[in-house]
Amino acid sequence: MSCVYAFRVMVGLAVALSAVGGASETRAQATGKDEGGAGRTESLASLARTVGTGPQAPITILMAPAVQRELKLTDAQKTKVFSLSVSAMQKQRDHFQTLFLGGGGEGAMNHPQGMLAARDGMRRENDQAISQILEEKQKERFNQIVLRTEGPLAVARPDIAAKLGLKDTQRQYVQSIMTQMQQNQFLLFARMRQGAALGQVGPGQIAQLRDMMEKVRDGAVQQLSKVIDAKQKNAFNKMLGEPFDLAKLDPGASPEPEAVPGTSADAASKPAQDPATSASEASDKDAPTDEPAAKSSSRSARKKARPKAKTSQ
C-alpha cells in the first residue's frame, strides 16, 4: 500500500497533519476518537492528491524523520519545514475537498486535467519554499530521495526528461502512458466517491482503493521502463545518488535508535535495494544495464524484496 506519511507531533495539530497521513484511522488515534464519515471523507481527499503521480509529495517526504536525519537538518530548519507542512497540507486538503467532495464533485471528475494543473501549481509553490530552507548539498540529496520515491514516473517531469535527453517520440509515449494512468485512477476514484456520497464507503474499502490505484501506477511504471533506453537508464540511476531505504518513510516504521553492531537495529539500518530494480526486471529485456527506479512505494520494497541490481552511483 502507498506509504503516505503521517507525522504526529501533538494532538492539537492532528487535524492539519492528517492530510499528510491520508488515513482516518491515524487521525482517530491522534485525537482519541472515531471520526466516522468525516474521517473517511478526509481520507478520500488525501487519496485524491496522489492521483496521477507518485505516492508522496516532496513536502511530505521532507517531514519524515529519517529524511531529516539523512539531510542533517538543524532545529531551525525543522521548525520551518514543520510550519510549511502544516500550512501546505491544510491548503491542499481544503482545495481537494472542494474539488472532489463539494458540490457533488462533478467539476473535478469532468475536468481532471484542471485539478492536476492546480495540484502541480501547489507543488511548485512548496518546492520553492523548500529550496529556501535547504542548503545546496541538502537540496541535492533531497532531490535524489524524491526521485527514488517517484521512480520511473519521474521521467514525465520536463526537467528530468530534458536531463535524460528524451526524444520527441519518447516524450509522446510517456505522455500517453501518464494520461492513461490518470484516467484509470480517476475512474476508480470516481466510483469510490459515488459510494461515499451514499454512505457506502468504509476504511477497508478506502484501503482497497489505494491498492487498486497503486496497481494502476505500477502498470504505468512497467510501461515507462520500456520507453527509455539503456543509456538513459544509466543516466537516471546516476541521478539517484547513494541508496536510501524507502521503507523508512512508512508510517509504521519505528524511530531509528543508534545502531549497535550485531543487533537487529544495525541490520535494519542497512540500505534497502536500489529502486532501480524491480520494475525493469520484469519488463525491460533489451538493456543489460542498470535498471531505472522501480515502484516508488515502500509496499513494493517490503513485499517484493529482490536481489539488488548493480547501479552506477
The torsion of the CA quartet 170, 50, 298, 226, rounded to 10 degrees, works out to -10
Segment among 118-127, 220-229, 299-308 with least mean pLDDT = 299-308
Residue 310 lies in a domain: no
Tally: H helices and E strands in the chain: 16, 0
- Kindly report the average pLDDT of the chain as a whole number: 69
pLDDT tens digits, one per residue of 267-290: 433 444 444 444 444 444 444 344
Q: In whole angstroms, what is the distance from residue 292 CA to residue 300 CA?
A: 15
| Domain extent at residue 141 | 11-255+265-303
Residue 1 lies in a domain: no
> Is 43 within a domain?
yes
For residue 217, tell me if it sits in a domain. yes
- CA geometry: angle 242, 244, 248, nearest 5 deg: 165
* Cα dihedral sign, 139-145-150-152: positive
Which residue has 537487529 as its cell numbers?
Answer: 264
Residue 133 lies in a domain: yes
Q: How many CB atoms lie within 10 A of CB 29?
A: 15
Confidence band for 161, pLDDT divided at 50, 70 and 90: very high
How many structural domains is the chain composed of? 1
Which residues, at least 6 apart from 89, have a Cβ–Cβ distance to it below 8 Å? Answer: 16, 17, 19, 20, 59, 60
Residue 2 lies in a domain: no
Residue 93: inside a domain:
yes
Q: Does residue 309 lie in a domain region?
A: no
pTM as predicted: 0.62
Q: Which of 133-137, 198-202, 248-252, 259-263 has the highest mean pLDDT?
A: 133-137
Cα distance between residue 235 and residue 5, in whole Å: 29
